[in-house]
Amino acid sequence: MRIYNSTIMETRAFGPFIEVPAEEVSLTNFKCMHCKEPVEVLRQVIPGLVPRICIPACRCGSVAVWEDERQPTGKLWYWNIKLLKQTGAKLAIFNGDKPLSPGFSGCN
Ligand SMILES: [Zn+2]
């Protein structure tokens, strides 16, 4: 029997996800005005796609934007979370002015 050295990747809960690699989560430079917690961001490479998807989150909710889109700031975050709270959603996805695929129903 052989025993392999394995690298154990540390994972954590983040936004809508149960487990993400802890090293891929970093701090933004602003706090959420609703929960007063620092907002963190996950930047995730999606195979075959450039740019990366950026998912800032606090315990109020999460937003998904592409890396080349306008990123949330403290003030925008306030309005993003307000929108989430009003709609009861936990995740808002922005898509800039990119065309949507024909199969997209708009309420996935
Ligand atoms: Zn918050």
CA of 97 to the centre of ligand 1 (A): 27
DSSP bridge partners of 63: 92
pTM: 0.79
Q: Residue 108: what pLDDT?
A: 41
pLDDT along the chain (108 residues), means of 10: 62 92 94 97 88 93 91 94 94 78 60
pLDDT digits (tens, 9 = 90+) for 46-70: 888 888 899 999 999 999 999 988 8
| Residue 9 Cα distances to 2, 27, 61, 72, angstroms | 21, 19, 25, 28
Q: Residue 65: what pLDDT?
A: 92
CA of 107 to the centre of ligand 1 (A): 24
Q: How far apart are CA 14 and CA 57, in angstroms?
A: 7
Question: Which residue ranges make up each domain of the chain?
Answer: 24-93
